[in-house]
Amino acid sequence: MKRIFLLISLCLATAFASRGQELTLEYNLGYATFRMSNLKDVLSEVNPSLTHLKLTDNFPAHFTHQVKVGYSFNPTHQAGIALDLMNTVGNKGVADYSGSYHFTLRTKGVRLGSFYRISILPKENRFRPYMQLTAGVVFNNGKLSEELNLEGVLQQEDHLSMDGLNLFVEPAIGCQVRLWGNLAFNINAGYEIDITKKLTDKSNRFLRDIYPDWSGLRIQGGLFYILPL
């Protein structure tokens, strides 16, 4: 992992030490799957004694948002920073005439990383396939809530906040398509691999170690604007 960060740091240092050619501002809307095997195990073990308890959400795939700032220091190489927003949720509950019980574990991730992109063709081409590597950290934020109602009266309500850091790498391939002027369309597909995973309960009430695993498929598409330098 240290070698990967060192390589990316050297690439960024080279980029900003060289005479720049282009600065790009990029926004991508994506669709992501999440492994979340540990959180799924936690959810499955919640109150097994309650009959008719139904699993309504099991950390499904969800939309992501990404912004990027890139710096092209020669016709085919680019480096920069990327910020992603991710979220998913697990829900379990039961309700009838006598009352209701609901358990929710919501997880959000803010992903901050450096990317290095190598285009197969120079910028003069309208279609520019590329290979990309992104690495960085995910800032986790978890919210756990549990609520029990009997005959319309709230009997129990618990809330828990958690946080932590994941380290990740994501190889990807994609293509940029010039539309008109300095505006272009981008599409790519990659796979995030979380190397370390952590979610910590500040109040120490949650005794079991739990962690989010954001590993999964990433498909993105969006627009980017090119600023010649």
Q: Tens digits of per-residue pLDDT, 193-219? A: 999 998 887 665 554 678 999 999 999
pLDDT of residue 15: 45
Dist CA 135 CA 71 (whole Å)? 17
| 16 has a pLDDT exceeding 70 | no
Q: Give how far Cα 219 sits from Cα of 26, 82, 190, Å.
A: 15, 15, 7
| 22 has a pLDDT exceeding 90 | no
What residues have CB less than 8 Å from 101, skipping those under 6 apart? Answer: 47, 50, 53, 93, 94, 95, 147, 148, 149
What is the arithmetic mean of pLDDT over 180-192? 94
pLDDT of residue 155: 66
pLDDT of residue 13: 52
pLDDT of residue 30: 97
What is the arithmetic mean of pLDDT over 97-115? 91
| 18 has a pLDDT exceeding 50 | no
Domains, the chain, in order of start with CATH, read 2-119+127-228 (2.40.160.20)
* pLDDT-based confidence at residue 71 (cuts at 50, 70, 90): very high
Minimum mean pLDDT range among 2-6, 77-81, 108-112, 132-136: 2-6
- Which has the higher per-residue pLDDT, 150 or 141? 141
pLDDT of residue 205: 55
